[in-house]
Amino acid sequence: MRKKNVAGKKAMAVLMAATMVLSVAGCGGSGDNDDGNQGDVETGNQNAGGDQTDAQDDGAGNAADSQGGASEEDAEYDFGGRVFRIGSYYDMTPDPQSNAVNAALSERIAYVEEHYNCTIEFVDLGEDYVDDYTTSVLAGDPVCDVGYAITTTVLPTLIDGGIAYPISDLGVIDFSSYKWRQDVVEAGYYKGKNYTLGINDPEIRYGIFWNKTLFDEYGLPDLYELYENDEWNWDKFKEIAQMANVDKDNDGTIDIYGFNARADLGWCYLYSNEAYIAAKTDTGMTVDLNDSRIIEALTAYQDFTTTVDYRPINWEVDDWDSLILSFVNGNSMMCLEEFWISYMYLSPVNGTAMADDWGWVPFPKGASAEEYSCYGKENGCRIILNGVDNPEEVALVYDLITDIADSDEEWDNLLEDQLENWCDDLNTMENVTYIYSRGLSKINCINGFSTLNNAMNSMMDAIANGEMTPQTALDTYRSEIETAVSDINTGETTVKDIQFDGNVLLNSSFELDVEHWDITRENTEAGISRNDSDGYPKSGQFSFHYWNADAFTIELAQTATITDGGNYVLSLYSQGDDTTGSSMTLYIKDDTGNILDSVDFANAGWSVWQTPAIEIALEAGQTVTVGVVINGQPDDWGTLDDITLILQ
């Protein structure tokens, strides 16, 4: 079994300004301490707001032994009383009562603090934590030493922006250690360097949740038996998804769907056939669209989406978790989802569990695949912020506080405690363990590259709705995909303004930060141009995002001179919280400040885009000011994008 590299840590200490005394470390340590590492140490799930807010794990477990994962031989360090800060969007201090992993982390942190003369401080940065990383690093005073982030935010935004430090340059971390999630390590590998860490945990990503009670009631095949007999494949999945549709009253309307999918069904088909599209290289990335497994997976995907009556999400009417609740309430037999819904919706520690019995199996194996796989579009991770004092010490301390087990078996025992709290049966535990222990969980390496990711998703949309055959779609989008990869490898990924035909406004989509917009804020510092690859921009890579704990007002305005007279439409896209009673106004004024027209509107939920519009006749040479006022109530959040004034 793999052991941690004690010798490597001793060698690293020579490089530090700290005092080191080699000794046999004591096995004791304080058992109670209020400080510690994050409770959801790299699970980093995004549950609400279209994966907007990361879910925290809960559960119950017992503390690890008093050794706290220390090896028989360890180094004694003196960090001179330094405070090491770990930042995130909430206080990630581990709760030792929640599960064995957090108990071990809490105890290990107490041990490191006591024996190595340092303090571990967890910093709650709120929702705009990534922006805090960016602004503080650029100002030369990082807000924390180690920061939580989503892998798709790290690559490429925080790496290309110089915010994330290349951890592999420090020579401290053994990235092959069993304690690190290899899919997270790989997700943060870019152009020959490693930027991300994530400690091992059982929270894998997409798979098939199935309602065992309904399967038994309607005489459907046992998915566990199919999986164990290696008969769980695309054909069987399609067959069951169709036969599991139930019309209870024979009115021609499906009352219970055999299958629903909130997102990423096409990607799951690709990854289940070991067709990963892109691969990392020391110079960037490479794609091979001629891989026969790609066309094979996309053909099966189109066959499913065009012949099976399944329940995809409809963003016009659904909330982000509508399909999860459909499964929980017994209105869907199977659900494609990330594993975090197990402890947030199906078997929550605090709340009502799903009434029916449920199980979990990986996505069905592809026709050319050797193994099952688990697709993930992203995962939580840890980065070291660029510009921190003595980054070697930071890496070493994070390595030390996460040393909570001495062997693979000890790690598995800790992870098993979490799974016992999350799973409904032993089969699910075994299936999940099989995936994470064999490194079969994979994270999409292109999801953070908006141009490339958008081209891929557009291609798969055309395939899913039957607009193109898979081969035609590949041929159609090949140039766009290969150009995007070439730009990544040459570093030519500069964000450009999006142009809308007939639009007289500049930077309508906030690709150029907030350039050309005058912004007035009252009782808030919120309101920034933010990069999000998963659902926030209506177009492009950026949008204007806001959130504030207290009531606030934000006004954006831009003045323009009309070149061609005629009929214009002023419009925008807005999405966000619909529970706070906040309101907004879109307006257009003349050059004296008189309001020519305005329209009030409000958000209707995450990713439910509202499109207020004003039709108005304008004359050539006329100067107008367009703007939007956000009257936010406490905890209001949302996104504006594509504010345009277009000649019809």
Write down the residue that tokens 């966000």 correspond to.
576
* Pair 385, 129: CB distance under 8 Å: no
State residue 616's pLDDT score.
96
Helix (H, G, I), strand (E, B) or coil at 567: strand
Consecutive H or E run containing 382 = strand 380-384
Nearest by Cα to 510 from 495, 525, 524? 495
Q: Which of 86, 89, 87, 85 is nearest to 47 (CA)?
A: 89
* Ordered alpha helix ranges (H), 82-219: 100-116, 129-138, 151-153, 159-160, 182-187, 212-217
DSSP string computed for 85-122: EEEESS-----TTT-HHHHHHHHHHHHHHHHHTEEEEE
Classify burial at 233, counting beta carbons within 10 Å of its beta carbon; exposed 0-12, middle 13-18, buried 19 or more: middle
In 3D space, the residue among 268, 276, 380 whose CA is nearest the CA of residue 334 turns out to be: 268
- The upper half-sphere exposure of residue 339, i.e. CA atoms within 13 Å in the direction of its Cβ, equals 33
How is the chain split among helix, strand and coil, in percent rounded to 5?
30, 25, 45
Closest of 351, 372, 352, 353 to residue 363, by C-alpha:
372
Which amino acid would we find at residue 39? G
pLDDT at 135: 87
Burial readout 496-529 (b: 16 or more C-beta within 10 A, e: otherwise): eebeeeebbbebbbbbbeeeebeeeeeebebbbb
**Whole-number pLDDT of residue 72:** 38
**Does CATH number 1.10.1780.10 belong to domain 518-647?**
no
637 pairs with which residues across the strands? 547
Question: How far, in Å, CA of 307 to CA of 295, rounded?
Answer: 18
- Among residues 350, 443, 374, which one has the least CA distance to residue 209? 374
- In DSSP notation, 451-501 reads HHHHHHHHHHHHHHTTSS-HHHHHHHHHHHHHHHHHHHHHT-----PPP-T
Residues 556 and 234: their CA atoms lie apart, in Å, by: 50
Give the span between the Cα atoms of 194 and 185, in whole angstroms: 7
Question: Cβ distance 181 to 101 under 8 Å?
Answer: no
Q: Residue 456 to residues 88, 266, 480: CA-CA distances in angstroms?
A: 31, 10, 9
CATH 3.40.190.10 fits 206-374, yes or no: yes
Distance CA 105, CA 403 (A): 8
Rounded CA gap, 640 and 118, in Å? Answer: 44
Question: How do the domains of the chain map onto residue ranges?
Answer: 6-202+378-442, 206-374, 518-647
What's the average pLDDT block by block, 10 residues per block, for the chain (648 residues)?
A: 30 34 32 33 33 36 39 72 97 94 96 97 92 90 97 91 95 96 95 95 95 98 98 98 96 97 97 94 90 97 98 89 96 97 88 92 98 95 97 97 94 91 94 93 90 91 96 96 89 64 91 88 82 62 85 96 95 91 96 96 89 96 97 92 95
User: Model-level pTM?
Assistant: 0.74
What's the token pair of residue 463? 């395939």
The per-type count for the chain, helices as H runs and strands as E runs, is: 18, 30
CA 311 to CA 305: how far, in whole Å? 10
Strand 53-55 relative to strand 74-78: parallel, antiparallel, unpaired?
Answer: unpaired
Residue with tokens 């660029």: 386
- CATH architecture under which domain 6-202+378-442 falls: 3-Layer(aba) Sandwich (3.40)
Task: Give 261's contacts (C-beta < 8 A, 6+ positions apart).
Answer: 310, 311, 312, 313, 323, 335, 336
* Ramachandran angles phi, psi of 14, nearest 5°: -60, -30
Q: Do domains 206-374 and 518-647 have the same CATH topology?
A: no
Q: Are 85 and 145 in contact (CB under 8 A)?
A: yes
Q: Return d(Cα 491, Cα 208) in angstroms, integer.
A: 38
